[in-house]
Structure 1
Amino acid sequence: MAGILAIDVGGTGLKAAVIDESGRMLTERARVPTPHPCPPKAFLDAVSGLTNGFPAFDRISVGFPGVVRNGTVLTAPNLGTEDWSGFALADAISKVFGGHPARMINDAEMQGFAIVAGKGLEMVLTLGTGAGTALFRDGDLMPHMELAHHPLHDDKTYDEYLGNAAFEAEGKKHWNHRVEKTVGILYTLLHYDHLYLGGGNSKHVEFDLPSSVSVASNDAGIEGGAGLWRKTAKL
């Protein structure tokens, strides 16, 4: 069986690789900058060249930074919701890549498919351009909560408090204090069994993590694409 083309959509970069049924990468990860501005046409033009030199694939998985449902974008805070709201991205991606079937999910949730252990209540918090979250119970994906745009501190949302703009404005030390505080707030809110920190800025986490918190591989945003095609997946 041919592989799965997994696409991880970020606010600063578009990444893709072909993976096998287990999520193992069969190619090096390709990356191009995310266009700015990034309406759907610009996005599709940018992503169309990512597969040059890739081996055959017969399915596509997309992790998208926003609220998505049934292959359609509802919100795209870091790409411009006005352009994206109601856009059937899964169908459009399928057409770009020869009609292969495509499935789409929130990017933090796609990461989660690669990293959760499948025991208890597990949460993913991605630290990148914005802050994404995903929640799993005994390996099953729970309904999406858009915590990124929920007030967290002094009327700042999770995105504003933890996103890359905050990292650059506040500096690494102060940003780490914010992440540490958020880890505690999320535990009070959900009493998770384990919290995984992902996304490009997770590499800057420097405080001592409790045993119930760990930093995940940044490749999980690609590797989790296999989870969208498992027979047991509940998207």
Structure 2
Amino acid sequence: MIAGILAVDIGGISIKAAVLDDQGRMLTDRLSIATPAPCPPARLIDLVADLVQDMPTFNRISVGFPGVVRQGCVLTAVNLQSEEWAGFDLARALSERLGNYPTRVINDADMIGFAFTSGTGLEVMVTLGTGFGTAIFRNGELMPHMELAHHPIAEGRTYDQYLGDAELKRVGGQIWNDRLNLALGLINTLFHPDQILLGGGNARCISTDLPANVQIMPEVRGMSGGAALWREDLSLTGQFSG
């Protein structure tokens, strides 16, 4: 098998991995393991190493991470519940652990967005999981990171606090869906996007009528965005570490 790209999607609920070709097609089944809480860096790296130990040959690594990432280093990781993440060079640490392959790390919503963006117009990717993640694309180009998760939405609470997995379990599906409609209305008012793309594990809990420009995307395809991190035009922007 031709060496591919190892794509790792780190979430507050689960860690997923698969090997992709350069077009983002999955060359393996997607493997998954539960994310512990808390999940400090050393624990995460051990889990990823165990998860991918039997994967076929790869020569590059792409990582989607649930927090703010700059040049492969983590700035915030609220949903992993460990202060050890602040300033941690995840790209370097994973590269060294998995065989010194070139490694690039990006926010998880950004990576998932690359899997689904049409490349036309203004598109907003929203991930519904442990928290509420966002990525904005203009004609297929990732815009400078603008995370809505920690911005207040209602009742003095942030999007994360208002629509995260803990609130879904606490208030139930009906209220959560009402809140989601409020959030989508605000995003439409703020950005007037051509499309809003919904993904993440809790997208399966959507039961409300959605605005005409909103689509629910299949979760299993989200990892294919990892191939985009190795396109030449992206690697030259300095947004990723490798």
TM-score, normalised relative to structure 1: 0.97
Q: Aligned to 1:8, what secondary structure does the other structure show? A: strand
Report how far residue 207 of structure 1 moved: 1.4
Q: Aligned to 1:148, what secondary structure does the other structure show? A: coil
1:26 alignment counterpart: 27
CA offsets 1:116-168 (integer angstroms, 9 cap, x no match): 00011100111000000000000000011121011000111000111001100
Is 1:47 matched with 2:48?
Answer: yes
Q: Aligned to 1:232, what secondary structure does the other structure show? A: helix
Contact 1:112–1:220 (CA<8 Å) still a contact in 2?
Answer: no
Unaligned runs of 5+ in 1: none
1:211 alignment counterpart: 212
Report how far residue 38 of structure 1 moved: 0.9
2:10 alignment counterpart: 9
Rounded to whole Å, the distance in 2 between the matches of 1:120 and 1:81 is 37
Rounded to whole Å, the distance in 1 between the matches of 2:36 and 2:172 is 26
Rounded to whole Å, the distance in 2 between the matches of 1:81 and 1:44 is 14
Report how far residue 54 of structure 1 moved: 1.4
1:84 alignment counterpart: 85
Q: Aligned to 2:9, what secondary structure does the other structure show? A: strand
What is the one-letter code of the residue matched to 1:72?
Answer: C
Report how far residue 81 of structure 1 moved: 5.2
Contact 2:18–2:26 (CA<8 Å) still a contact in 1?
Answer: yes
**Cα root mean square deviation, aligned:** 1.1
Contact 2:9–2:63 (CA<8 Å) still a contact in 1?
Answer: yes
Rounded to whole Å, the distance in 1 between the matches of 2:211 and 2:183 is 13
Rounded to whole Å, the distance in 2 between the matches of 1:220 and 1:144 is 22
Contact 1:63–1:221 (CA<8 Å) still a contact in 2?
Answer: no
Rounded to whole Å, the distance in 1 between the matches of 2:186 and 2:212 is 16
Unaligned runs of 5+ in 2: none
What is the one-letter code of the residue matched to 1:200?
Answer: G
Correspondences of 1:124-203 after superposition (within 5 Å): 124-203=125-204
Contact 1:15–1:29 (CA<8 Å) still a contact in 2?
Answer: yes
Report how far residue 51 of structure 1 moved: 1.3
CA offsets 1:87-132 (integer angstroms, 9 cap, x no match): 0000001011100000000000000100000011100111000000
CA offsets 1:179-204 (integer angstroms, 9 cap, x no match): 11111011001111100011100011
Contact 2:116–2:222 (CA<8 Å) still a contact in 1?
Answer: no
User: Percent of pairs identical after alignment?
Assistant: 53
Rounded to whole Å, the distance in 2 between the matches of 1:81 and 1:136 is 30
Rounded to whole Å, the distance in 2 between the matches of 1:168 and 1:11 is 15
Q: Aligned to 1:149, what secondary structure does the other structure show? A: coil
Report how far residue 221 of structure 1 moved: 3.1
Report how far residue 33 of structure 1 moved: 1.1
**Larger CA deviation: 200-209 vs 55-64:** 200-209
1:59 alignment counterpart: 60
1:105 alignment counterpart: 106
What is the one-letter code of the residue matched to 2:121?
Answer: G
Rounded to whole Å, the distance in 1 between the matches of 2:163 and 2:209 is 18
Contact 1:4–1:19 (CA<8 Å) still a contact in 2?
Answer: yes
* Number of aligned residues: 235
What is the one-letter code of the residue matched to 1:229?
Answer: W
Report how far residue 53 of structure 1 moved: 2.4
Contact 1:121–1:194 (CA<8 Å) still a contact in 2?
Answer: yes
What is the one-letter code of the residue matched to 2:33?
Answer: V
Rounded to whole Å, the distance in 2 between the matches of 1:40 and 1:52 is 18
Rounded to whole Å, the distance in 2 between the matches of 1:82 and 1:174 is 32
